[in-house]
Structure 1
Amino acid sequence: MEKSVDAIGDMSLLELMIPGTHNSASYGRFSHKDNTLMSKYSLCQDETVFNQLVYGIRFLDLRVAYDTVNGNRSKLWIVHGPVPMKQTLDSVLLQVRRFVELAPKEVLVIDFHRFEKGFNKDEISQRLLRRHHRKVLALILKHLSAYLVPQTMGLHSTLNELIANNKRVIVGYASDQYLSNKTFVFPKARHLWPNTDDTEELVEYFNETLCDIYPNQLFSAMVQLTADKFGIIIDRYNGLRTMAHTVNPEIAKGFSADSPLGWANCANVVASDFFLSNNLIDISIKTNLNRSKRSANHTKMDSKLN
């Protein structure tokens, strides 16, 4: 955003196309040794969260569990469904803070989209549930308190306003009961999720939903293919990495400026698996510059009419 801020600084995150990743902290480098069925269908990214941000990702999709993993003292872990990753939430937030400190003109979103084991109200008491959420919120404050966008600024604040106030991290949170009494959490982003393993069905889903109106909230096109359970058991797809390499080029075409699908006119967040196999970051930059130009032209027209 820093390189484009002169052009897009008067726009809010609601008006921008934001490149994101799906299951952002479910990452690990490919290794033939570790290429098990579990890793093939749980890892969604190659790059660390810090590296994703350096490349240009500005929306992080996190899934968190409260659990004991390998006897570790840390209890808050990144998970993909029931599968724990090697990353703790603490380590991920440290990566985010490092980036925010190094990039003073960048704005990003951390979306706590789902809470898994240790957060199910049907499995634990309300007292424990509140305690676990308090630990998550305390960890967010510990690492990012200086940069958190308050609810009083809201999602309609422009990039220039957020940068000027050094409030550059928006936190979306999946548990509604904490939205009213915590000044730094917003509702989680609305996910447009095709839930299909078929590229044609995915494209058709976004043709039908992407340009609907979602006022006053961030919404994310989840552009990854989804493996079904039986397909995972028999390894029908050869893993999520292979599925991403199949769909990512088609997705990039759909969001390009010259695509007849027109997705670039409607997109807000676009979150993909293995993002380096698409060019959605570059497409987002170009799309935002085009939107800024259109907005400036409309302003000029309005001033002439008045």
Structure 2
Amino acid sequence: MDNFLQNTNTLKNWMLATPAIDSLSLCELTLPGTHNAGCDWKASWPFFGPPAHWVACQHESFYSQLCHGSRALDIRLLQDDSAKGLDKFGMHHNGSRNSRTLRNLVTDVEQFLKESPNEFIILDFHQLQGEGFDFTNFNNLVKQYLGHRIIPTKNLSLSLHQLKQISAAQRIIVAAPWHSALDRTVFHEQIRHKWSGSGITNAADLKQHIINVLKYPPGTGAPWSLSATSYSALGGPVDIHDELNSWFDPNNSDWASKCNIINVDFIEESNIVSYCRTVNLMKARDRVPR
């Protein structure tokens, strides 16, 4: 593993500590991401429901994931008509709710960016579900609480350097499924997830899926996410850090360099952040000046 990233402080600020990558855009970078970021072991789960080991994809909170280097949070929301405000939108895994809500996300992201103001985050609102989902309310809440942090969609292709010149506060790309109530100057189109298509995926199947995707990877015109996750019918999300470390090590393959977002479970367990930093330095070195 890159010794540069052994220190937790460096993980927390790995983009700032790697200034060479400022010549790249968020679509050109390789970003470590957390799959089902709102479903973690530290959340409270209902007594009557699937056991946590079937639905928890991360160890700790959004804030902890960001501090460990994640820069793309995969968010799935269900509307709770019994709640109000930010708590009206709760996190879920295949319909199984937990105690995390949009309030936790907003609070954790704001705390992180106050402490690390030159890191960039993609909030991938991948699912907005629930009968009569209130897109207008969701739109207004995101703009109210995160608006000062959001990078306008028109600036998506700008380099990190250009984004920093424009604003000292705008550090978030938000993306969501299309809906007429969502402000498209704020919300980018839904991020494409390249996943295996099967709810049950072992490591061998996942490896073949990744090989197939990276034969013809999507371009750098828009963010896209590679689902590098494994799920067992008996145990739920599987910790495959040994496989991830082998597959994505830049010394072993060019896989990481071909990706935009690498969406993983239990981000603390693997070296994926270190590998992303390494290939981003390679991309910046190889980039033709604009």
TM-score (norm 1): 0.81
Aligned: 1:265 with 2:257: yes
**Partner of residue 158, structure 2:** 157
Higher Cα Rg: structure 1 or 2?
Answer: 1
- Aligned residue type for 1:251: L
Q: Does 1:198 align with 2:202?
A: yes
**Contact 1:21–1:59 (CA<8 Å) still a contact in 2?**
yes
Indicate which of 72, 79, 83 corresponds to 1:66: 79
Structure 1 alignment gaps of length 5 or more: 119-123
Alignment counterpart, residue 102 of structure 1, candidates 83, 97, 115: 115
Aligned-partner SS, 1:52: helix
Q: In the aligned structure 2, how far is the partner of 1:150 from the partner of 1:37? A: 39
Within 5 A, what are the aligned runs for 1:100-179?
100-118=113-131, 124=132, 129=133, 132-153=134-155, 155-164=156-165, 165-166=167-168, 167-178=170-181
Deviations 1:166-193 (A, max 9, x none): 32100011134356x4311101211011
Q: State which of 92, 98, 104 in structure 2 corresponds to 1:91.
A: 104
Partner of 1:121: none
- Name the amino acid aligned to 2:141: L
TM-superposed deviation, 1:226? 2.9
2:235 is equivalent to residue 222 of structure 1: no
* Counterparts of 1:134 and 1:252, CA distance in 2: 42
Paired residue type of 1:4:
T
Q: Which letter does structure 1 place at the counterpart of 2:158?
A: S
- SS of the aligned residue for 1:292 comes to helix
Query: 2:216: which partner in 1?
Result: 212
Distance 1:162 1:178, change over 3 A: farther
Higher helix share: 1
Q: Check if 1:4 corresponds to 2:18.
A: yes
CA-based RMSD: 2.2
Aligned to 2:11: none
- 2:173 is paired with a residue whose SS is strand
- Which residue number corresponds to residue 291 of structure 1? 283
1:176 and 1:45 map into 2 onto residues whose CA distance is 29
- 1:251 equivalent in alignment to 2:248: no
- Distance in 1, matches of 2:227 and 2:217, equals 17
The 2-side partners of 1:217 and 1:284 are apart by: 18
CA deviation profile, 1:101-129 (whole Å, cap 9, x unmatched): 221111110000012223xxxxx4xxxx4
Contact 1:221 1:269 in 2 (8 A): yes
* Cα-to-partner distance string for 1:109-157 (whole Å, 9 max, x where unaligned): 0000012223xxxxx4xxxx4xx1111111211221111111221x211
User: SS in structure 2 opposite 1:79?
Assistant: strand
Report the 3-state secondary structure (helix = DSSP H, G, I; strand = E; otherwise coil) of the residue aligned with 1:64.
Answer: strand
Q: 1:30–1:89: structure 2 CA closer, same or farther, 3 Å change rule? A: closer
Structure 1 distance, partners of 2:187, 2:210, is 28
Paired residue type of 2:231: T
- In the alignment, the residues of structure 2 paired with residue 277 and residue 162 of structure 1 have an alpha-carbon distance, to the nearest angstrom, of 31
For residues 203 and 103 of structure 1, what CA distance do their matches in structure 2 show?
34
**1:23: which partner in 2?**
36
Is the CA contact 2:90–2:102 (under 8 Å) kept in the aligned structure 1? Answer: yes
Answer yes or no: is the 8 Å Cα contact 1:211–1:263 preserved in 2.
Answer: no
- How far has the Cα of 1:264 moved from its partner? 2.1
Between the two proteins, what is the percent identity of the paired residues? 24
User: 1: CA distance between counterparts of 2:107 and 2:191?
Assistant: 22
Structure 2 alignment gaps of length 5 or more: 1-14
